[in-house]
Amino acid sequence: MVKLKKQFAALLAQPLNGELSIQEIETLVEIPRHPSQGDIAFPCFALSKIRKQAPQTIAAKLASDLRSSLFEKIEAQGPYVNGFFNREELSKQALVNILNEGNSYGSATVGNGESITIDLSSPNIAKPFSMGHLRSTVIGNAIGNIAEKCGYQPIRINHIGDWGTQFGKLIAAYKHWGDEQTVISNPIKELLSLYVRFHKEAETQPELENEARRWFKKLEEKDEEATALWKWFREESLKEFSKIYSLLDIEFDTFHGEAFYNDKMEKTVELLVERGLLTESDGAEVVRLDEHDLPPCLIKKSDGATLYATRDLTAALYRQNMYHFTKSLYIVGHEQSLHFQQIFLVLQKLGCPWAKEMVHVPFGFILKDGKKMSTRKGKIVLLEEVIQEAITLAKQNIEARNPELSDKEEVAKQIGVGAVIFHDLKNERLNNIEFSLEDMLKFEGETGLYVQYTHARACSILRKAKNVNGLEKGLNDDYSWQLIKTLMSFPEVIQKSFNRYEPSQIAKYLMDVAQEFNMFYSHVKVLQDDNRLESRVSLIKAVTIVLKEGLRLLGIKAPQQM
């Protein structure tokens, strides 16, 4: 539709004689909500101010002046100039285009092969992978897929939380109440139990907090016992995480976590000193950001311990040196907005021009009973359990509907995982999502299953029409035309989704395609043997291409049979 908007704007520009630029006209062009108002429209309110005439008068004059083979008719409706496209010709062009491009349909070259680093997922070691980590993981992965579709080279970075004072707490807890064999038999569950117990005991024994700080200091000083425990906790956690990522079918380019930057932070501190940016505040070392009305960015605590800011500054410098990124995205909850604002400003003060292309992509929480899930209080829902339950329900659904289906296990996995991912990505990322296993696993309504089932239904029609090929004519009935117009907007939706870092744009679009297809299928006899059979089959092929590719961008598989 972008191309058609441009063509309509160019057509309008001729009689307007420079009163509005083509860019201004293009911005004003609209897509009407109702088919009776045409396929494309131009409101004349802006011209009314320029000409000092009623917009209805201007619309009537413009409509009479416009002629183009692109349109069946152009007419004035009140203050609007409404264009009705030549369905026969445009539908044929659109279908040929989609079929020729195949899975490449919707691709763009705006990225010019440049690198985008994407910091996503980043769970903390020694803690289970909870539903709370799902959002960063699936939003970040989808943005990576969409960026690649737009011509960028995404570099997915899993900045594992493998350092910090929480490990002092965990080591202290293990030394007090831990048992080696219990941890070996069920590492993540036991480590979580120890972490939760530490916080509970510390409420009545505040000296535990000091003990935890001492253990973390030992860890920073490479104490043998502290380091061995930390490595053990880390290895066990990564084994557990790999199971989740395998289920979600998500891969990373690097797992460099916080600890990776331990031997690199001193250079960052030296750089800040060289530039005269580091000042002392109550014994701590900070970079002041008074000119931005922001609190200072803490670089070192009064006891010399480093902070998240020190690591994130070091990581950004390392990534630019390693990947020469054009953009750098951080898929992290909105509660970290101030932190990233400070990091980006400190890098700008350091004289890094690329810092202006660093973006915090925030998202809302997954809530349980209206509250944020908290690991330290033990209030979490394990992601692996949710995915496995979704897969089990999908198996039951297959057994009830299609027990003869081959490859049932794989299809059930694709459905179950798709249900979990789609339930997240159909929501705008800044919105909070109330966790509900029941809603997530519904097999009707706005769900991943509905889109997957629509794709499978379309594939089934194609199997029945296997000997039908060619595309001689376009399609001009209302249901075909509405579906084709929706398919034509796929490239625009992808671009908008990338520009806003908003995968929900694609999820909502796929729902529209699925609904339009099912409306078409219920009103049109697709396999009727007449002179437009090939065209209708071509339309079905185009639908499968767009649904499969759209789901892929979200990180979801599209089964051909269900």
User: What is the overall mean pLDDT for the chain?
Assistant: 93
Locate all alpha helices (DSSP H) within 29-133, ordered by sequence: 45-51, 55-65, 87-101
User: Is CATH 3.30.300.30 what the domain over 2-85 is classified as, yes or no?
Assistant: no
Strand partners, 279: 286
Over residues 276-281, the mean pLDDT reads 94
- Kind of pairing between the strands at 284-287 and 278-281: antiparallel
Weakest mean pLDDT among 248-252, 371-375, 435-439? 371-375
Confidence of residue 374 (pLDDT cuts 50, 70, 90): low
For residue 306, is pLDDT > 70? no
State pLDDT tens for residues 382-416. 888 889 999 998 999 899 988 999 899 999 999 99
pLDDT of 375 reads 56
For residue 378, is pLDDT > 60? no
Domain with CATH 1.10.730.10 in the chain: 393-554
pLDDT of 469 reads 84
Contact 557, 250 (CB under 8 A): no
Q: What strands lie across the sheet with 80-85, from one edge to the other?
A: 40-43, 80-85, 71-77
State pLDDT tens for residues 83-118. 999 999 999 999 999 999 999 999 999 999 999 999
State pLDDT tens for residues 424-447. 999 999 999 887 777 776 767 889
For residue 546, is pLDDT > 80? yes
For residue 198, is pLDDT > 70? yes
Contact 1, 90 (CB under 8 A): no
Question: What's the CA gap between 236 and 231, in Å, rounded?
Answer: 9
Domain with CATH 3.30.1360.70 in the chain: 2-85
Question: What's the CA gap between 124 and 195, in Å, rounded?
Answer: 12
Over residues 467-486, the mean pLDDT reads 91
Q: Tell which CATH classification among 1.10.730.10, 3.30.450.40, 3.40.1130.10, 1.20.1740.10 matches the domain 393-554.
A: 1.10.730.10
Question: What's the CA gap between 382 and 393, in Å, rounded?
Answer: 17
Confidence of residue 303 (pLDDT cuts 50, 70, 90): confident
pLDDT of 344 reads 98
Beta carbons within 8 Å of 50's beta carbon, 6+ residues apart: 19, 20
State pLDDT tens for residues 526-539. 999 898 999 999 99
- What percent of the chain lies above the pLDDT cut of 70? 98
Weakest mean pLDDT among 124-128, 232-236, 519-523? 124-128
Over residues 471-485, the mean pLDDT reads 93
| H/E segment holding residue 331 | strand 327-331
